[in-house]
Structure 1
Amino acid sequence: MKNFITYFCLLFVLSISCIVNAQIASSEKQYLLDFHKSTNGDHWQNKWDVKTDPSTWFGVEVEDGHVTALKLYRNNLTGSIPAGISNLSHLKTLNLAFNILEGNLPKDIFKLEKLSVMRLEMNKLTGKMPQDYSKMTQLEELSIFNNLLQGEIPGGIGEMSNLKSLNLSSNYLEGSLPTSIEKLGKLERLELFGNKLAGSIEVDLGRLVNLKELILSYNKFEGDLPSGLATLSNLEFVQLQGNDFRSLNSLLRMQSSKLAVFDSDDEFLNMKFGATEVNKIRVVDTKYEDVKRN
């Protein structure tokens, strides 16, 4: 009998603990409800039953009483991302890619200090990128390609010290490449295809020692390509075509033995590094692949 009572008490305590752990702060739940309303949740592909616990909602992950992930990839979200997302202060992954979201990025979206992945690609987001990224020291992936963003790439982007992948391709970004990018020492992928970026590249690309993919094609860059690019030994994928570079001669000393794809407007270099017609269309194939990640 004593053992039975002990077992029952233990079971009761565990049940209460599970219920408590499933609950989230009222401010976090309220933001999720605001988000649901602002993005027309009644028309989502995978809908939420807002009368149930948020931990049961599609794409919401909860740990220790806090929302740690919001994964609503290709879920027919429309409307806009509402302000107040910083209430999800424990968020690590935000994946809203392949939806029909419009409007500006909320100003507080780059105050999520624990965020490691932000994927907003293939939407219709507009406006300018924010200036301050000082809170984003944990971010490793920032993907906002194929939206309608305008203005310059902010210099503050170099504050994201753990960033490994930056993809801003297929927007309407203009101006020069900020020199602060050279501070992103962990960067492996830099993809800026199809914007209006212009001028000489003053970034010391040689400092991006972990860079594997560099896609600058179809912008308005000019002048000489920085010589430091030739020293990057981990490069695998390079696309430079569709710009107004005066000279690519610095690449004659390219040191990477891992280079698989190289495209430029210099046919000699294309031949030297083995570019093919198949390689020339790869930028389209890879930038819009429908692969569900994170």
Structure 2
Amino acid sequence: MKNCITLFLTVFFSVSLLANVSSSEKSILMKLYQNTNGSQWVIKWDLNTPIETWHGITIANGKIVGINLSNNNLVGTLPVEITNFKDLTVLNLFKNEISGTISENIGNLKKLQELNLSFNKLTGSIPNSICKIEHLKSLKIFMNKLSGQLPSKIGDLKELEELSLFNNQLTGEFPASLYELKKLKVLALSSNQFSGNISNNVENLVSLTNLSLFDNKMSGEIPFALVKLQNLDNINLAYNTFSGSVPNVLAKKEGFSLMMRNESGVAFKMKVTDSAKGILAADE
């Protein structure tokens, strides 16, 4: 009998935690469904059933905290109202057919930790307000058609561990604040149109394990400061217009290619210098 009562209470409180989603949050989900052609999704929502049964929706204490509709054939634009989910920690819409721009109100998602809008058809720039999401750990918007520059205050994302924006049309130089992301492990910005050089302040990215900047328009010398990044295992800077030579210790890293482009677009191989000299230069 005691076990039955315990089981009943467990189920009761579990259901209580899932129940009572506000009408305002439900209406936002409905708008998302309508805007992205929900009737044609791979896994559709049965709008006549409780929200907690809807595919990809996570609820805690009556609040929507997670939306994961990756690879589900969402076609259309995101309603701006989606930025009103004050308790949302995960928004994953990877590999769909979402078009339009990212709302400037994205910064309202104060509790967001993971944002993945990759492999869609998004255009426009990355909103500056995204830098207000102070607990964001993963920002993935690769394989879209984004343009413009990185937000100047990207360094405000102190908890960011991954920044993956490859295969877009982003331009300009890296903002100085980018080098303040001391928890950043993955910086993947390849196949864009970034210009300028890599600052010696790259040595501040002490947690970096993966650096991918290939196929951009970056120039200058590859800084010896990269040698100081002891956690850096994988690095690819190929097909930029970097000049000079590269430390042997970097050339041996996984993914490193010596192929560059000159100002005329002709491919050439960089020279490799002794690693000891590279380390010495970094310490000067």
TM-score, scaled relative to structure 2: 0.85
How far apart, in 2, do the equivalents of 1:76 and 1:219 lie? 31
The structural deviation recorded for 1:262 is: 1.6
Counterpart for residue 127 of structure 1? 124
2:255 corresponds to which of 257, 261, 266: 261
1:264 and 1:270 in contact (8 A); partners too: no
The structural deviation recorded for 1:115 is: 1.0
The structural deviation recorded for 1:132 is: 2.5
How far apart, in 2, do the equivalents of 1:214 and 1:20 lie? 42
How far apart, in 2, do the equivalents of 1:154 and 1:28 lie? 29
- Does residue 109 (structure 1) correspond to residue 103 (structure 2)? The answer is no
The structural deviation recorded for 1:271 is: 12
The structural deviation recorded for 1:247 is: 2.2
The structural deviation recorded for 1:18 is: 2.4
How far apart, in 2, do the equivalents of 1:245 and 1:158 lie? 25
1:97 corresponds to which of 94, 99, 106: 94
1:239 and 1:264 in contact (8 A); partners too: no
How far apart, in 1, do the equivalents of 2:23 and 2:41 lie? 23
How far apart, in 1, do the equivalents of 2:231 and 2:9 lie? 56
* Structure 2 unaligned spans of 5+: 260-268, 276-284
How far apart, in 1, do the equivalents of 2:143 and 2:190 lie? 10
1:137 and 1:161 in contact (8 A); partners too: yes
Structure 2 residue identity aligned to 1:120: L
Tell me how many residue pairs correspond in the alignment.
264
Identity %, equivalent residues: 34
2:138 corresponds to which of 129, 137, 141: 141
Counterparts in 2 of 1:248 and 1:137: CA distance versus 1, 3 Å: farther
How far apart, in 1, do the equivalents of 2:208 and 2:138 lie? 14
Structure 1 residue identity aligned to 2:138: E
Structure 2 residue identity aligned to 1:212: T
2:219 and 2:242 in contact (8 A); partners too: yes
Counterpart for residue 246 of structure 1? 243
The structural deviation recorded for 1:133 is: 3.3
Structure 2 residue identity aligned to 1:263: S
1:41 and 1:77 in contact (8 A); partners too: yes
Residues 203-233 of structure 1: per-residue CA shift (max 9 Å, x gap): 6110001100000100000112233212111
TM-score, scaled relative to structure 1: 0.82
How far apart, in 2, do the equivalents of 1:222 and 1:215 lie? 15
Mapping 1:64-213, distance limit 5 Å: 64-202=61-199, 204-213=201-210
1:152 and 1:175 in contact (8 A); partners too: yes
How far apart, in 2, do the equivalents of 1:12 and 1:243 lie? 62
The structural deviation recorded for 1:201 is: 2.8
Residues 151-209 of structure 1: per-residue CA shift (max 9 Å, x gap): 11111211111000000100000111111111110000000110011122336110001
Counterpart for residue 288 of structure 1? none
CA RMSD, Structure 1 to Structure 2 (Å)? 2.6
The structural deviation recorded for 1:118 is: 0.8
State the SS of the aligned residue for 1:29.
Answer: helix
Residues 69-102 of structure 1: per-residue CA shift (max 9 Å, x gap): 1000100000011102222111111110010100
The structural deviation recorded for 1:261 is: 2.8
State the SS of the aligned residue for 1:132.
Answer: helix
* Structure 1 unaligned spans of 5+: 273-294
2:102 and 2:124 in contact (8 A); partners too: yes
How far apart, in 1, do the equivalents of 2:17 and 2:197 lie? 57
Structure 2 residue identity aligned to 1:260: E
How far apart, in 2, do the equivalents of 1:65 and 1:127 lie? 34
Counterparts in 2 of 1:203 and 1:46: CA distance versus 1, 3 Å: farther
Counterpart for residue 24 of structure 2? 27
